[in-house]
């Protein structure tokens, strides 16, 4: 089985590239972030024609997550328990979508498409929201593993955290900035303390995001902020991980690229 995660930065703008990627890569399940549309605006027909079912969680033109699968979908959750809200009035944003599919070996596989809050600035309420969001997600992760230690779960997406200095092109450019602050990094590493395995780090090296500004991509001034945390049972089946850097090339590219995982059946 092959699954992938990709912050597509507007599915309506990039649907042709996404469909081409699915067909070229033979991906079975794709988790998408920043779809930037409501469900009735999502280009479902093109996915259907390509052989994929789609489940969508989007509230407006911001955020939004979705999962496309060519495997049978068994269950869908549009938030995790206690997911924090933000704003005035507070809203539980469209940042998490859990989809359980029937994998080729007939065991259920659950993929959580996650778009972790950006944080904006260290003094911004959004930063507090980001840390709380990660804390509650961690609590859910503990619960999922305690309920079923053999569960096949992947928490994937745009984590908006660069865990190591090597995950940004120049640490001096991030002085007093989000994404690299110690509380964010601690929140990210805390998942590993509970038994989750970030399965890309030891298998592939590259950035996953390059800003559109200042020729960041041609200069390779990027960040590694898209990750895959797998439950122990799923991590033991990982065969390979890839970062498809070529998807940042050409007209109409997202500022993120797909992260691809192969699992032994």
The whole-model pTM stands at 0.98
> What's the token pair of residue 249?
């090339």
Q: Can you give the C-alpha Rg of the chain in angstroms?
A: 17
Q: What angle do CA 88, 91, 93 make, to 5 degrees?
A: 130
Structural contact between residues 73 and 101, judged by C-beta atoms closer than 8 angstroms: yes
Can you give the length of the chain in residues?
265
45 is catalytic: no
- In three-state secondary structure terms, 203 is coil
pLDDT digits (tens, 9 = 90+) for 140-153: 999 999 999 999 99
> Which one from 158, 167, 226, 262 is the annotated catalytic residue?
158
Per-residue pLDDT band for 13 (boundaries 50, 70, 90) equals very high
The answer regarding whether domain 1-261 maps to CATH 3.60.10.10 reads yes
So where are the chain's domains? 1-261
Kindly indicate the confidence band of residue 107, based on its pLDDT and cuts at 50, 70 and 90.
confident
| Integer Cα distance of 265 and 182 in angstroms | 38
126 is catalytic: no
Q: pLDDT digit string (tens) for 61-77?
A: 999 999 999 999 999 99
Q: How far is CA 62 from CA 4, 10, 115, in A?
A: 22, 9, 11
From 115, 127, 207, 209, active-site residue? 115
7 is in an annotated binding site: yes
The two three-digit tokens of residue 3, written as one number: 């699954």
Q: Which pLDDT value is given to residue 24?
A: 97
Name the region of 233 (left: φ>0; alpha: ψ -120 to 50; beta: rest).
alpha
- Specify the DSSP class assigned to residue 72: P
**Per-residue tokens: 83:** 């997911």
pLDDT one-digit tens code per residue, 212-231: 999 999 999 999 999 999 99
Is the pLDDT at 106 greater than 80? The verdict is no
Q: Element (H or E) spanning 110, and its range?
A: strand 108-115
Query: Is 121 annotated among the ligand-binding residues?
Result: no
Tell me the pLDDT of the chain averaged across its residues: 97
77-102 mean pLDDT: 98
Q: What is the mean pLDDT of the segment spanning 228-250? A: 98
What pLDDT, in 10s, does the model give residues 19-65? 999 999 999 999 999 999 999 999 999 999 999 999 999 999 999 99
**CA 183, 208, 8, 229: dihedral to nearest 10 degrees?**
-60
Q: Do 28 and 3 contact (CB within 8 A), yes or no?
A: yes
Tell me what pLDDT residue 110 has.
98
Q: Find the catalytic residue in 28, 127, 226, 256.
A: 256
| 265 assigned to a ligand binding site | no
- 18 upstream amide cis, omega within 30 of 0: no
Q: What is the mean pLDDT of the segment spanning 87-93?
A: 97
Q: Is residue 256 flagged as an active site residue?
A: yes
Backbone φ and ψ of 232, nearest 5°: -55, -40
pLDDT at 105: 79
pLDDT for the residue 265 = 85
Tell me: is residue 220 an annotated ligand-binding position.
no
Q: At what angle do helices 125-147 and 182-193 cross, to 10 degrees?
A: 0
């Amino acid at each position: 089985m092959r699954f992938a995660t990709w912050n597509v930065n507007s599915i309506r703008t990039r649907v042709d590239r996404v469909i081409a990627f699915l067909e070229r890569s033979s991906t079975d399940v794709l988790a998408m972030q920043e779809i930037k549309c409501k469900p009735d605006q999502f280009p479902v027909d093109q996915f259907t024609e390509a052989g994929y079912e789609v489940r969508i969680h989007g509230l407006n033109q911001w955020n939004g997550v979705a999962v496309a699968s060519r495997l049978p979908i068994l269950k869908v959750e549009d938030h995790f328990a206690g997911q924090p809200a933000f704003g005035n009035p507070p809203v539980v944003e469209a940042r998490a979508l859990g989809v359980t599919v029937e994998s080729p070996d007939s065991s259920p596989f659950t993929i959580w498409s996650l778009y972790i809050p950006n944080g904006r600035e260290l003094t911004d309420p959004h930063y507090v929201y980001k840390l709380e969001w990660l804390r509650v997600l961690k609590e859910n992760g503990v619960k999922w593993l305690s309920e079923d230690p053999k569960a096949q779960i992947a928490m994937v997406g745009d984590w908006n955290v660069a865990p190591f200095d090597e995950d940004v092109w120049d640490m001096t450019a991030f002085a007093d900035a989000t994404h690299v602050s110690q509380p964010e990094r601690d929140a990210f590493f805390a998942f590993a303390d509970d038994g989750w395995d970030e399965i890309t780090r030891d298998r592939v090296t590259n950035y996953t995001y390059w800003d559109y500004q200042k020729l960041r991509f041609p200069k390779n001034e990027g960040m590694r902020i898209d990750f895959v945390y797998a439950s122990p049972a799923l991590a033991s089946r990982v065969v390979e991980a890839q970062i498809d850097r070529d998807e940042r090339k050409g007209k109409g590219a997202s500022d993120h690229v797909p992260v691809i995982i192969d699992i032994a059946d």
